């Protein structure tokens, strides 16, 4: 029989058994199962190390919960729509469907080889009509609820992906530019950044297109405030979302604008036709007296109106809307309109300016060049007055408003009746007293642009009719399935003529289908719900089950999803709740962001050529290694040497189980050191359980390794006690099983464990080991002290070692005086403390107690006082562990308790036995 563990050989067998016994299938009668989920993979064709780490974490936790007796829902599916499949199909002269299905087959094989235990009966694939029909159904429900908008907008366009992008899919990248504009130091808009596509890093441009949006901004407040309650989410992810949502408190200030009349649709009646009110948002309303102009974004309604009657404005608007915001700078065009300052009544010029963003605040600003950097830059460019209205409190601060804005707080000046007030006071009074200035909150969050001009996604269920406009497709005509793939350079749906031509559901006349598909992040916004009832035909998910089973108990994935997937998922859940489909408003209770696996200090990536394939070192070695290398949230370095450690742990455990079966000859009569081992098995169970609960698999692995080492030593020390030793080995098999399930199963089987370890009960301690840390520390420090004495005294060959536990009265003394000692280390009255001890009737003499109390007071470190036990239990711990001393020093050991007068009595302290070593002097 071999004692070499060959994972490749055993894996197929156990995988067959697990599948045969349906061990990962959620029982039909499960009531509120523990829902453990890893972010489902994009179907790229191969698993990479990030996937392996992600799924090793969820799998270990799911297995652990199952052994704890939970019903566990641990499903897997495929994020299968998306541009890469379309590109791959185009290059390989195939179609996205065939390509994606081939990828799925390959990745599923890989997941199975790794031994991840999924309930495959719940598999979902987002590119199948059975799934994406529900995207269309949700689109319609959101449409009816007023959460879908169709708008002509200037949107982000990736020329390489040939599609628009959502705001969250545009990333900022620092670029080096040689030229710098003069006098604009510290100016936010002049910082050299480039906006690039999240997928292909191509610089993003602008396009004017009619597009579909989900109005996620309707939920900005709830998405923001709800973050506070997500206590089991990493702070980092919550902070990223908080910043992305970008809540800002400030004021809305109304300016009357004249000179835009005539074409204004907003001017509702004849009397007001001459003026219109433009609201601006400002976080610093107290600077209102410093406003010297008003500026609106090129997308603002007022800009439209003004453009209609002014060719210069029209040309500017046209120009800016097609350009990248980075190129627009502080350009602008003065209009014929004028705005009336709400406090001074002064007439201010009105500009259309590209630096004012349409979807930030109200899309209009009051220009306060003296106290806002961007307004300052604009004023310099257009020769506008700069009027200071806030002066620093500290008069020695040098302020030169011509060269720089002063953006701090201070004392108001040139501000009418508010002059002389501090910024904050002025702000409050203005809000309270001026009708045109009102409290307001804005959010940086934009609506979610879901249109994509690509093929491989969910068709948007709308037709365009010349007579009726945009008409949603009736539910009974869903799903709108994708037509066959057409290889073309533009949008393939646009080229699918036959598919595109349809009839209008309203008037029956000829109409065209919408050719945009949905952002694939729509698919992933609700997939966790489909896993509850994957085969359901008349609804996307079972509402009753969802109410019982949600939220997802533990969700694991990469932090890069913080503002895309994880924000959209929260939005979707809230919207579905408002549609009456869910009770829960938050989808995920506990979120874990896994760290990165590094190689030579860099993230593994195929473009850098530093990829380690999951199979390279053997599937189970890899998963055991990624779990034992570091805390799940930390990055760690892949080194062959450390992988070896994981490999050796497997060989050790397997070798010990094999040897046990072969040796057979075991002791029946119990000896004290069996008690130590039994306690250590219990202590390890408690420690490992705690580590699994906290996702600290690396520390669980360390505990397992320690127990294995101890068991080996125990076996070598003396013929093992059959029952105790077997329990130790079975415990190891069970404790390692969540991380290395094939190994766990193989060892469990060799040791004749009951049933399958995957279905076994989680081990429980046989004795009370609540104090296990203290017990371990006593043994460790005693051993270290013996070692120390042997070294310091240069003892070659100790013959006998006495371990002497302190007298009972010392434990009692500490208990009696604990509080006093803690409080009065310095200058305590030793005499009165000694009196108290003696009055309590302890069995001790004053001449013994006095120096002990003095010594206690003199010690700086009183941690030992916190964990005082009693002489009897210390003695029995030392007796059980005496074999470790014998084993290490090859000497006889005695453990006894000191009595007064004993020469070792004075040295013995609670938690610190006196040690005496006899040896042959040479
Ligand atoms: Zn791109
Ligand atoms: Zn029609």
Rounded distance from Cα 158 to ligand 1 centre (Å):
5
Q: 60-64, 829-833, 845-849 — which is least confidently predicted? A: 829-833
Rounded distance from Cα 546 to ligand 2 centre (Å):
38
The ligand whose atoms approach the alpha carbon of 452 most closely is: 1
The ligand whose atoms approach the alpha carbon of 508 most closely is: 2
Rounded distance from Cα 507 to ligand 2 centre (Å):
4
- Note the pLDDT of residue 827: 56
108-148 per-position pLDDT tens digit: 999 999 999 999 999 999 999 999 999 999 999 999 999 99
Q: How many helices (H) and strands (E) does the chain have?
A: 29, 33
Rounded distance from Cα 510 to ligand 2 centre (Å):
7
Binned at pLDDT 50, 70 and 90, residue 866 comes out as low
680-697 per-position pLDDT tens digit: 999 999 999 999 999 999
- Note the pLDDT of residue 261: 55
C-alpha 103/C-alpha 85 separation (Å) is 9
235-272 per-position pLDDT tens digit: 999 999 999 999 999 999 999 999 875 444 444 444 44
Contacts 24+ apart (CB under 8 A), 604-612: 604/48, 604/49, 604/50, 604/638, 611/48, 611/49, 612/49, 612/638
The ligand whose atoms approach the alpha carbon of 466 most closely is: 2
Rounded distance from Cα 483 to ligand 2 centre (Å):
23
Q: 420-434, 746-760, 806-820 — which is least confidently predicted? A: 806-820
Rounded distance from Cα 498 to ligand 1 centre (Å):
29
Rounded distance from Cα 83 to ligand 1 centre (Å):
9
364-406 per-position pLDDT tens digit: 999 999 999 999 999 999 999 999 999 999 888 888 999 999 9
- Note the pLDDT of residue 325: 66
Rounded distance from Cα 611 to ligand 1 centre (Å):
24
C-alpha 577/C-alpha 570 separation (Å) is 11
Mean pLDDT of the chain: 90
CB 734 within 8 A of CB 748: yes
Q: Is 433 exposed, middle or buried (0-12, 13-18, 19+ CB in 10 A)?
A: exposed
Shortest CA distance to 457 belongs to which of 514, 529, 532?
514
Rounded distance from Cα 198 to ligand 1 centre (Å):
7
- Note the pLDDT of residue 130: 97
CB 222 within 8 A of CB 441: no
The ligand whose atoms approach the alpha carbon of 159 most closely is: 1
For residue 172, how many other CB atoms are within 10 A of its CB? 11
Q: Reply yes or no on whether the pLDDT at 303 is more than 50.
A: yes
Contacts 24+ apart (CB under 8 A), 29-32: 30/71, 30/73, 31/71, 31/548, 32/71, 32/548, 32/549
List beta partners, residue 78: 125
- Looking only at Cα atoms, what is the longest distance across the chain? 118
Shortest CA distance to 810 belongs to which of 800, 818, 802?
818
CB 410 within 8 A of CB 482: no
The ligand whose atoms approach the alpha carbon of 512 most closely is: 2
Strands 170-174 and 163-165: unpaired
**Torsion sign across C-alpha atoms 6, 37, 51, 91:** positive
List beta partners, residue 557: 593
634-664 per-position pLDDT tens digit: 999 888 888 899 999 999 999 999 999 988 7
Backbone dihedral angles phi then psi of residue 799, each to the nearest 5 degrees? -95, -45
Rounded distance from Cα 202 to ligand 2 centre (Å):
40
The ligand whose atoms approach the alpha carbon of 160 most closely is: 1
In the structure, ligand 2 is a single-atom ion and the residues with CB under 5 Å from it are: 465, 467-468, 504, 506-507
The ligand whose atoms approach the alpha carbon of 471 most closely is: 2
Rounded distance from Cα 159 to ligand 1 centre (Å):
7
Rounded distance from Cα 322 to ligand 1 centre (Å):
18
Shortest CA distance to 716 belongs to which of 597, 886, 537, 913?
886
Rounded distance from Cα 206 to ligand 1 centre (Å):
13
Rounded distance from Cα 113 to ligand 2 centre (Å):
54
List beta partners, residue 208: 154
For residue 208, the number of C-alpha atoms closer than 13 Å in the C-beta half-sphere is 9
Rounded distance from Cα 468 to ligand 2 centre (Å):
4
CB neighbour list of residue 380: distance below 8 Å, 6 or more residues apart: 183, 369
Q: Reply yes or no on whether the pLDDT at 822 is more than 80.
A: no
Rounded distance from Cα 473 to ligand 2 centre (Å):
11
Rounded distance from Cα 512 to ligand 2 centre (Å):
10
487-521 per-position pLDDT tens digit: 887 888 999 999 999 999 999 999 999 999 999 99
C-alpha 852/C-alpha 838 separation (Å) is 13
For residue 341, the number of C-alpha atoms closer than 13 Å in the C-beta half-sphere is 18
Binned at pLDDT 50, 70 and 90, residue 606 comes out as confident
List beta partners, residue 348: 339
CB neighbour list of residue 146: distance below 8 Å, 6 or more residues apart: 215
Rounded distance from Cα 887 to ligand 2 centre (Å):
92
The ligand whose atoms approach the alpha carbon of 453 most closely is: 1
- Note the pLDDT of residue 213: 97
Using the CB atoms, write b or e for 540-563: b if 16+ within 10 Å: bbebeebeebbbbbbbbbbbebbb
User: What's the average model confidence in pLDDT over 469-485?
Assistant: 96
Q: Which residue's entry shows tokens 């057979």?
A: 664
Rounded distance from Cα 202 to ligand 1 centre (Å):
6
CB 392 within 8 A of CB 404: no
The ligand whose atoms approach the alpha carbon of 506 most closely is: 2
Rounded distance from Cα 723 to ligand 1 centre (Å):
64
- Beta strand segments in 192-331, E: 193-197, 205-214, 247-258, 275-282, 293-296
User: What's the average model confidence in pLDDT over 158-184?
Assistant: 72
The ligand whose atoms approach the alpha carbon of 197 most closely is: 1
Q: Reply yes or no on whether the pLDDT at 183 is more than 50.
A: no
CB neighbour list of residue 665: distance below 8 Å, 6 or more residues apart: 719
Rounded distance from Cα 196 to ligand 1 centre (Å):
8
């Amino acid at each position: 029989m071999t004692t070499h563990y060959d994972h490749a050989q055993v894996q197929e067998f156990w995988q067959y058994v697990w599948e045969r016994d349906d061990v990962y299938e959620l029982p039909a009668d499960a009531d509120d199962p523990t829902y453990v989920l890893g972010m489902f993979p994009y179907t790229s064709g191969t698993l990479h190390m990030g996937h392996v780490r992600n799924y090793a974490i969820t799998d270990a936790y799911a297995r652990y919960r199952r052994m704890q007796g939970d019903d566990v829902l641990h499903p897997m599916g495929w994020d299968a729509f998306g541009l890469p499949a379309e590109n791959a199909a185009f290059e390989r002269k195939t179609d996205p469907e065939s390509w994606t299905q081939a990828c799925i087959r390959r990745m599923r094989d890989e997941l199975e080889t790794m031994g991840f235990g999924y309930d495959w009966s719940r598999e979902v694939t987002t590119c199948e009509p059975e799934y994406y029909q529900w995207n269309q159904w949700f689109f319609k429900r959101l449409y009816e609820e007023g959460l879908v908008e169709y708008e002509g907008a200037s949107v982000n366009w990736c020329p390489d992906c040939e599609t628009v992008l959502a705001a969250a899919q545009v990333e900022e990248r620092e670029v080096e530019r040689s030229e710098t504009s003069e006098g604009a130091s510290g100016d936010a808009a002049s910082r050299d950044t480039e906006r690039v596509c999240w997928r292909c890093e191509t610089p993003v441009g602008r396009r004017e297109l009619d597009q579909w949006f989900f109005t996620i901004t309707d939920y900005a407040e709830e998405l923001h405030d709800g973050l506070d309650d997500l206590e089991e989410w990493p702070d980092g992810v919550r902070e990223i979302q908080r910043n992305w949502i970008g809540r800002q408190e400030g004021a809305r200030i109304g300016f009357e604008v004249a000179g835009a009349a005539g074409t204004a649709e907003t001017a509702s009646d004849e009397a007001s036709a001459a003026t219109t009110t433009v609201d601006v948002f400002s976080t610093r309303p107290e600077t209102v007296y410093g406003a010297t102009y008003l500026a609106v974004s090129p997308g603002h309604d007022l800009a439209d109106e003004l453009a209609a009657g002014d060719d210069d404005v029209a040309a500017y608007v046209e120009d800016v809307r097609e350009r990248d915001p980075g190129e627009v700078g502080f350009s602008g065009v003065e209009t014929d309109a004028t705005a009336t300052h709400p406090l001074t009544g002064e007439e201010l010029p009105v500009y259309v300016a590209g630096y004012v963003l349409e979807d930030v605040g109200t899309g209009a600003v009051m220009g306060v060049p003296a106290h806002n950097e961007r307004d300052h830059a604009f004023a310099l460019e257009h020769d506008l007055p700069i009027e200071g209205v806030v002066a620093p409190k500290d008069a020695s601060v040098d302020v030169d408003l011509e060269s720089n804005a002063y953006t701090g707080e201070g004392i108001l000046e040139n501000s009418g009746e508010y002059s002389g007030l501090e910024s904050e006071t002025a702000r409050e009074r203005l809000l309270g007293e001026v009708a045109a200035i009102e409290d307001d909150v804005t959010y940086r969050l934009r609506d979610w642009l879901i249109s994509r001009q690509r093929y491989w996604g969910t068709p948007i269920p709308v037709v365009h009719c010349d007579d009726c406009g945009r008409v949603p497709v009736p539910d009974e005509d869903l799903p709108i399935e994708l037509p066959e793939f057409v290889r073309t350079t533009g949008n393939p749906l646009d080229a699918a003529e036959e598919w595109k031509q349809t009839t209008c559901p309203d008037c029956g006349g000829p109409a065209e289908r919408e050719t945009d598909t949905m952002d694939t992040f729509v698919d992933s916004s609700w997939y966790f719900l489909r896993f509850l009832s994957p085969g359901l035909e008349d609804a996307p998910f079972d509402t009753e089950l969802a109410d019982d089973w949600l939220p997802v108990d533990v969700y694991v994935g990469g932090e890069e999803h913080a503002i895309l997937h994880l924000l959209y998922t929260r939005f979707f859940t809230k919207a579905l709740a408002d549609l009456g489909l869910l009770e829960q408003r938050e989808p995920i209770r506990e979120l874990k962001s896994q760290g990165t696996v590094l190689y030579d200090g860099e993230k593994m990536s195929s473009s850098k050529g530093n990829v380690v394939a999951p199979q390279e070192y053997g599937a189970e070695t890899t998963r055991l290694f990624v779990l034992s290398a570091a805390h799940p949230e930390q990055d760690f370095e892949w080194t062959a040497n450390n992988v070896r450690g994981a490999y050796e742990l497997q060989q050790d455990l397997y070798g010990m189980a094999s040897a046990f079966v072969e040796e057979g000859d075991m002791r029946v009569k119990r000896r004290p050191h069996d008690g130590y081992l039994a306690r250590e098995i219990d202590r390890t169970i408690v420690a490992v359980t705690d580590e699994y609960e906290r996702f600290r698999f690396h520390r669980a692995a360390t505990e397992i390794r320690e127990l294995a080492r101890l068991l080996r030593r125990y076996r070598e020390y003396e013929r093992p006690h059959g029952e105790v030793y077997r329990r130790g080995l079975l415990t190891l098999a069970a404790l390692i099983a969540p991380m290395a399930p094939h190994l766990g199963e193989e060892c469990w089987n060799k040791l004749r464990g009951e049933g399958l370890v995957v279905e076994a009960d989680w081990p429980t301690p046989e004795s009370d080991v609540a104090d296990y840390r203290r017990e371990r520390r006593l043994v460790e420090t005693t051993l270290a002290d013996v070692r120390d004495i042997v070294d310091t005294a240069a003892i070659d060959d100790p013959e006998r070692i006495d371990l002497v536990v302190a007298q009972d009265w010392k434990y009692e003394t500490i208990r009696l005086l604990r509080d006093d000692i803690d409080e009065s280390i310095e200058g305590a009255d030793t005499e009165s403390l000694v009196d108290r001890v003696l009055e309590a009737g302890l069995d001790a003499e004053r001449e013994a107690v006095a120096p002990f109390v003095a010594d206690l007071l003199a010690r700086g470190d009183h941690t030992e006082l916190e964990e005082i036990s009693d002489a009897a239990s210390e003695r029995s711990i030392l007796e059980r562990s005496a074999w470790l001393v014998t084993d290490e020093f090859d000497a006889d050991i005695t453990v006894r308790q000191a009595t007064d007068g004993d020469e070792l009595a004075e040295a013995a302290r609670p938690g610190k036995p006196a040690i005496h070593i006899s040896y042959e002097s040479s």
